[in-house]
Every structure is written in C-alpha cells, then in structure tokens.
Amino acid sequence: MAVIANQTGHTADAADYSRIAKDYITQWQDLAIAKGTNPPRTTLSYGDPASHGLLYNLFADAQLGLNFVPQSVYQMQSDFYPTVANKYGVPLDTRHTYTKGDWECFAAAVSSVDTRAMFINDLATWINETPTNRALTDLYDTISGDHPQNTFVARPVMGGCFAPILVR
C-alpha cells in the first residue's frame, strides 16, 4: 500500500503504511522464526519450532522489487528447504507430505542457485516418474508421487513454473 500511496501522491499515507509494515515484518520475524533450530527457519505455527512451511509468497516481494522481506529470510529458507526435501520435492508444510508444483517453483525462484536446482530437479523427477495418469496435476505427494483423486488436474496454475525465469 505504501508504494501505491506514493505513486498516487499520498505521501503521508505512504509513510504511515511503511512504518506499520516495518513494525509488522519485525514482529513476524520475532514470532515466526525458529532461531534455535538447525538450520533456523520460519514456522507454520507461532511457537512451534517443529513446524515449517513453504514460503512461496516471497516471490511477490522479489518480483515486485518491494524489498519488504529481509534478504536474510530468503537465505535462511533457501538453506532450510534441502533439509526437508523428499524424493519428489519439499512438502507445503508439516501437516502432510503433499506439495504443489507451482508453489515449489515460486519458492525456487527466490532461492539460491543450488536450492533452485533442487526444486526444479525434484519436480522434473516427479513428472518423469509419477504413478498418476492425469495431466500435470499440481498437488501431489512428495514421497509416493501420487495425488488426491480427481483434484488439481491440468490447471493453469502450473504456469507458476515460469517464476524462476522471471526473478534473476
């Protein structure tokens, strides 16, 4: 909102939005980062250091050039993802071993070169080895490669796999 307010000449509002956003991102980092884990990472649930999730929405911050989220968070997540990767990718979060191919590509786009390659290689392995007979389902299990029946099939969201090309 601060960017929009600035671009529309509402500089006082922009300053207020920026201040609030900076306060919120600081609070979020204090609450959501499990600093005592090895490696440190963001949590899915505040106060639960055993939880984690795929921060695919960092892509928007990077693509729009907002620089809202500190680079240290990007690096921290990039270092963490390989530690929880299964044969066919990184689970969305700790609730299940499912992932979404498009969201993995959004995360890959803002990861280090090595972690980006891991995401893309794991997705390619799944595409080549999936036991499904469905057209490129975007929701699948990172261990078995299977997918929930009759859902998430041939959807345009898989265009998200072009995200790594956009963010350089």
Contact 92/98 with Cβ under 8 angstroms? yes
Instruction: Output the pLDDT for position 130.
Output: 87
Contact 34/43 with Cβ under 8 angstroms? yes
Share of the chain above pLDDT 70, in %: 99
Task: Give me the residue spans of the domains in the chain.
Answer: 53-166
- pLDDT for 150 beyond 80: no
Distance (Å, whole) CA 163 – CA 109 = 6
Instruction: Output the pLDDT for position 23.
Output: 98
Query: Across the chain, what does the average pLDDT equal?
Result: 95
How far from chain centre, in Å, is Cα 61? 11
> Residue 153 corresponds to which tokens in the numbers above?
């099939």
> What's the pLDDT tens digit per position in 36-91?
999 999 999 999 999 999 999 999 999 999 999 999 999 999 999 999 999 999 99
Contact 111/71 with Cβ under 8 angstroms? no
Instruction: Output the pLDDT for position 168.
Output: 65
